Structure 1
Amino acid sequence: MTEQQRQGTIGVRDAGPEDAEFLIDMLLEAVNWTGEERMKRRQLLRDKTLSHYVAGWQRAGDLGVIAVDTGAPAGLQIPIGAAWLRRFDSHHPGYGYVADDVPELSIGVAQQHRRRGIGSGLLRTLFARAEAAGIRRVSVSVEDGNPSESLFAAAGFTVVGRNGNADTMVLDLSAADA
């Protein structure tokens, strides 16, 4: 997190089953990264490839974190971003599928909170939890032109493949510590 965020306005907590609806919102933020509404919630939930990033959250092996604004009145914590990992198999792969034992990253930050270091903070926290859970590598899919590509590159992801108009990137968590 940035210095401003450390001063108490932004916090990070683990994602739980109660966060399923918010993860759908953040997946929509990720899909609609251009600022245009390319997909609506109902369309996302009907799309079999996209919906399986959130369907049945939180199943065994799912791992996620939620960024919250802690500066709300009465101590309310308002979710503003999320990053989560989910494993897929070769029969039902995600867009950034690499292998059954490599979970795929999804990340979304509410548009009005972007470019404040929240995504980087979410990634650092999630990757620390992933390492503690024995996860060695993480993949992600990023569309051409998506500014998140620089976030992933800065975190240590490298391009390992291509799927349509998107790069598949992988992060070796043990190398990220070096």
Structure 2
Amino acid sequence: MIDDVDRIMAVMQAAFDPLYGEAWNRRQVEDSLSLGHCHYGVIAAEGLPCAGDVPAAGFFMSRNAFHEEELLLLAVKPEFRRYGLGRKLLDTLRRDAGARGAQRLLLEMRRGNPAEALYAAFGFYKIGERPNYYRTSEGDRLDAITFACDIS
């Protein structure tokens, strides 16, 4: 049977461009999930939670702190993009984070990330910037942008 860390890693390997160094390794995922305040969700291509041997088409990982939940990672395999799976993952995150007492969601991403349109449509708004925060594998520097979304 496929476990959820295997599912997360398969999506991560397919979804993240190595140029940006955004993908986590298995150890980072396992260590984060072993903490009580980190959470995740996996989704199949049909938009339902994964079970049995069904592979994941997407996932999210988040970290809860006080009245906020930070989206650490969100990814959908390229062949399953533009089918609403990212939105379903964000809906699940909002619902689950709210049940844990979070009043808003936070995320940080590199400037130019195409997922920004998804986040904006979901209700995320810019709250800050870190100039030259990220470095590509080619040495280029990219700004980080911090976003928030109120949970209502």
TM-score (norm 1): 0.62
Secondary structure (helix, strand or coil) at the match of 1:23 reads helix
**How many correspondences in the alignment?**
132
**Structure 2: how far apart are the matches of 1:39 and 1:157?**
22
1:61-94, Cα deviation, whole Å (9 max, x unpaired): 2222111135xxxx8522110012124xxxxxxx
More strand by share: 2
Note if 1:173 corresponds to 2:145: no
Query: Percent identity over the alignment?
Result: 27
**Structure 1: how far apart are the matches of 2:88 and 2:116?**
16
In the other structure, the counterpart of 2:6 is 21
By how many angstroms is 1:172 displaced? 1.4
Change (3 A) 1:139 1:26: farther
By how many angstroms is 1:130 displaced? 1.2
TM-score (norm 2): 0.71
Alignment of 1:1-178 (within 5 A): 18-28=3-13, 31-32=16-17, 37-38=18-19, 44-45=24-25, 52=28, 54-56=29-31, 57-69=33-45, 76-87=53-64, 100-101=65-66, 102-105=68-71, 106-163=73-130, 164=133, 165-174=143-152
Are 1:158 and 1:171, in contact at CA under 8 Å, matched by a contact in 2?
Answer: yes
More helix by share: 1
Moved over 6 A (4+): none
Q: CA RMSD in A?
A: 2.9
Secondary structure (helix, strand or coil) at the match of 1:130 reads helix
**Structure 1: how far apart are the matches of 2:37 and 2:92?**
17
